[in-house]
Amino acid sequence: MTSAAAQDQHRLDAVAHALADGTRRGILRLVRDGERAAGDLASAFPEMSRPAVSQHLRVLHEAGLVSIRPNGNQRLYRVRTEGLAEVWQFIDEMWTDRLGRLKNAAERAARREQGDRGPDRGPYQGPDRGPDGSRH
Amino acid sequence: MKETAGDTITIEQTVHIAAPPETVWSFWTEPSRLNEWWATDAEVIAEPGGLFRVVVEGGHVMRGTFLELDPPHRLVFTFGWEGDTPAGPLPPGSTRVEVTLTPAEGGTMLVLRHFDVPAIQVPDHRQGWRQFVGDRLAAAAGRA
């Protein structure tokens, strides 16, 4: 076995070991959608001691399944995405970006259409507006 | 906002738009208006079963089929990409998007839900996360 292949095998062993435990799979689910502080994660497993949760986090980190970002006196954990192409993240960001553009384009169009009908009635003033659009 | 259901998730986004629902609707169904926010080129046959094809920046192509149209309230279409995307394949027909427009605060509350989005993929696009995990676990058990 080449050294690179041995390294791969070692990494896969670490991943398999990390994933073989139900608590660690639970932690992975929690950090999949975003960063979570170690304290947060510990409180999600009230039946376990904090050092035990920390030990699980260490195993996940050594297997390369989570990343750690220090933030003040906290350590923030999240699923390590390197090498994991995450379609949902791509789509989530796409819609955030595109719906922002849609909002701007539709609001520009609405202002133009409103301008065609007469003077600008100004910003929304509340629901107490007559059927003809006049304010009370 | 995201909801996890097995290996797929629903992406949900809400945006308030200071424009009437009719105006917002037209931005989903008129190609020239799609070009203002999403497409560089769009083909729209706005009827159930009709084609919804959106070419975006970078040349990627979203190809969908309209499933439901209730102007100007609700729009449902299938969503997928022709070919690969930077984040892996999502073939046409594989996911579904629902857009609802509700009059709110002098404008429109738009809620977009994107259903059946794969939660995690491994670099080898032919395998899902469950397969990846399953293989590793089987390998581990085999050595035990």
Global ipTM: 0.80
pTM above 0.80, yes or no: no
The DSSP letter of residue A70 is: E
B128 reaches A (C-beta below 8 A): no
The DSSP letter of residue B144 is: -
The CA distance from A11 to B87, in Å, is 24
In a mutagenesis test of the B interface, which of A82, A103, A117, A135 is the best target, namely the one with the most B β-carbons within 10 Å?
A103
The CA distance from B2 to A132, in Å, is 41
Among B46, B64, B36, B71, CA closest to A102: B36
Do B19 and A109 count as a contact with CB atoms less than 8 A apart?
A: yes
User: A108-122, B43-57, B82-96: which has the highest mean pLDDT?
Assistant: B43-57
Q: What is the pLDDT of residues B9-62, one digit of tens each?
A: 899 999 999 999 999 999 999 999 999 999 999 999 999 999 999 999 878 899
Do A20 and B137 count as a contact with CB atoms less than 8 A apart?
A: yes
Q: Judging by beta carbons within 10 Å of its beta carbon (0-12, 13-18, 19+), is residue A51 exposed, middle or buried?
A: exposed
Those of residues 99-118 in A touching chain B at CB distance below 8 A are: 99-107, 109-110, 113
Q: Quick one: what percent of chain B has pLDDT higher than 70?
A: 74
The confidence score (pLDDT) of residue B57 equals: 83
A124 vs B37, B106, B122: nearest CB: B106
Helices (H) and strands (E) in chain B, counts: 3, 11
CB of B101 within 8 A of CB of B72?
A: yes
Q: Which residue has the tokens 């581990």?
A: B140
Do B4 and A29 count as a contact with CB atoms less than 8 A apart?
A: yes
Other Cβ atoms closer than 10 A to B144:
5
Look up residue B135 and give its two tokens. Answer: 């293989």
B136 vs A15, A103, A104: nearest CB: A15
A91 reaches B (C-beta below 8 A): yes
Q: Which residue has the tokens 């039946």?
A: A47
Which pLDDT band holds residue B88 (cuts at 50, 70, 90)? low
Strands B51-55 and B41-44, how do they pair?
A: antiparallel
